Structure 1
Amino acid sequence: MSGNVTKRDVRLVRINPFISIISYIMDRLSSLLDLFSPKAQQVELISGKQSGLLLPGDSAIGLINDGDGFINQGLGQVNPNQQDRTRIKRGDLIWVTQGSHQQLFSDDDQFQLLCCPLCFGPVRLNPLFDMLPPVVRILQDDPARHALNPVIQLLLQESRQNRCGQETVLNRLAEVLLVHVLRFLMEHQKIEKGVLAGLSDLRLARAITAMHRQPEQRWSVESLAAEAGMSRTAFNQHFRDTVGCPPGEYLSQWRMRLACRMLETNKLSISQIVDQLGYLSETAFFRAFRRQIGVSPGKYRMQATA
């Protein structure tokens, strides 16, 4: 685990020594999960041979209960020598992260995959998806996977029993599993680039979480570097290398994502949105919104609510 623990963090441990190292420093995920509340829907068990089943377009978690096969990106005929397909086998967990036409193939009669489709709202607005690989695979024999196994077993057990409320239980368990998967990827630094990689680094996570929680603040590279406990130069370079863009650009993108969600989901006026996002004037907000989104805020709201 990278990053330095500050004196403030240590004091929190003294208050409650039972708080884990991940939770006592900060809740790095809640700001993202609150904004893009993932909802599972229609969890189902897929069985038998598969010859190109198209997996859900936005995002889905799959548990391979039996057999083996592979996932291929793209539609059409599959080349048996293709290098970019993902092999899957019994016990593996996969997260299909984006709508990139992922097809499922298996010649195994015993093949079983519990598919958990997840809706995050508009994926283009969620920074989690910006630089994730199309398929994230967590192997059954990964020694660090033990924290995921209790939820996986509950999901598989519930899927085998036709009981009252089964659909609701499966959907909620799938959402819990997603949070555990995100924790796993962060704690064990499984993602190399993007915001999830940034949140995996305790120093960068402090700065990213500060931006997420207080987008209205007049953040500078210097103030964000102070949050991270790093020098300005080291922070700026490390942020670029890990997240994939400069801190200021990430902040601007985050504010635009928040603006889009506000325009889509609530009745705030433009001036209220401007205040909540820290723009100095409506003119500055309009200019930034049109530059990044391509239309005016008013037109975006009309299109989103039509």
Structure 2
Amino acid sequence: MDRLATLLSHFAFSADTFHQGSFCGLSGYPGDTQVGHVHLLRAGRLRFEGPGGQASVVEEPSLILLVRPQAHRLSAYEDDQAELVCATLNFIGGPHNPLTAALPDVLISPLSALTGLQASTDWLFAEAESDECGRALVLNRLFELMVIQLLRQLLSDGSLGAGMLAGLADKRLARALVAMHDAPAQNWSVEALATLAGMSRASFAAHFRAVVGDTPGDYLAGWRVGLAQKRIREGRPLALVADEVGYQSPSALARVFRRRTGMSPSEWREGKI
């Protein structure tokens, strides 16, 4: 059972490296673009100010990840001797999707705590220093690999308290979640999902709500709407989208879509494309 394969196939992303080397001064990111950001502090000291005024001083090699568009600022003095490698993250299904929604607004972690990323970050830092042909392309692919490895580690550690990734880190709930991810059009019942999890219906429903933060039915509806948004972005007809994500008609999808987003599919499309 691959807990990430379907997620990453539906909500693939690409990285675009925009800085490598020493950093001094102030850089602001207004959060009004459709990309996330990842900053790797290789050495020195860095000041980070995140959304809502969150402020941190980072004093050891660290990862700073803002997977959704978030206003933030980085600053360093010359004496801080900060060295950074930075990239944007562009999700094909848009920056607001079930995968990005499962991650915190800001994730800051020392690299020493992310042992599963060591090989890729070592390679990334070495590549940033080099002047080999194709360096930018290699850096982009290494950032993408690093984020996938981060997702792996988050699942392995079970360090997220609630949400989809917390559910995927739970061995019993993961079977039900992967089944919904793989076959969203299936008419899933709580009984069928509980059987996959090896739990009673009542125990499964309570445990799912406690860990994931939604009822199984609400989670499935959210997953279906997330997939529908991606397909609508791709220009697919609404009737086809409704069938692909498990609704008998476009109007049935539209009702759930409006309940989840506050907009009809056509209103959402006009605002996003």
**How many Å apart are 1:291 and its aligned residue?**
2.8
2:149 pairs with 1:149: no
Which residue of 2 is the match for residue 27 of structure 1?
2
Q: Match of 1:110, as an amino acid?
A: Q
The alignment partner of 2:9 has SS state of helix
Which residue of 1 is the match for residue 72 of structure 2?
102
**How many Å apart are 1:129 and its aligned residue?**
2.8
Distance 1:65 1:243, change over 3 A: same
TM-score by length of 1: 0.80
2:41 pairs with 1:64: yes
Distance 2:209 2:25 in 1: 41
Q: Which has the larger strand fraction?
A: 2
Which residue of 2 is the match for residue 293 of structure 1?
261
Residue pairs, 1:125-144, within 5 angstroms: 126-130=97-101, 132-142=103-113
Match of 1:92 among 46, 56, 62: 62
The alignment partner of 1:123 has SS state of coil
Give the unaligned 5+ runs of structure 1: 1-25, 79-83
Distance 1:291 1:119 in 2: 27
Count of paired positions: 269
RMSD: 2.3
Distance 1:227 1:87 in 2: 45
The alignment partner of 1:207 has SS state of helix
Give the unaligned 5+ runs of structure 2: none
Greater radius of gyration (CA): 1
TM-score by length of 2: 0.89
Distance 2:172 2:56 in 1: 33
Match of 1:44 among 12, 15, 19: 19
Identity in percent: 35
Match of 1:202 among 168, 171, 175: 171
Distance 1:140 1:279 in 2: 44
Match of 1:262 among 223, 231, 236: 231
Distance 1:219 1:41, change over 3 A: same
**How many Å apart are 1:177 and its aligned residue?**
0.7
Distance 1:111 1:46 in 2: 8
Distance 1:290 1:98, change over 3 A: closer
**How many Å apart are 1:103 and its aligned residue?**
1.3
Distance 1:206 1:96, change over 3 A: same
Distance 1:101 1:46, change over 3 A: farther
Distance 1:284 1:169, change over 3 A: same
Match of 1:278 among 229, 235, 246: 246
Distance 2:242 2:68 in 1: 31
Distance 1:201 1:50, change over 3 A: farther
The alignment partner of 2:104 has SS state of coil
**How many Å apart are 1:132 and its aligned residue?**
3.0
1:82-117 alpha-carbon deviations (Å, 9 max, x no partner):
xx4233223222212333312112234410111121
CA contact (8 A) 2:43 2:61 kept: yes
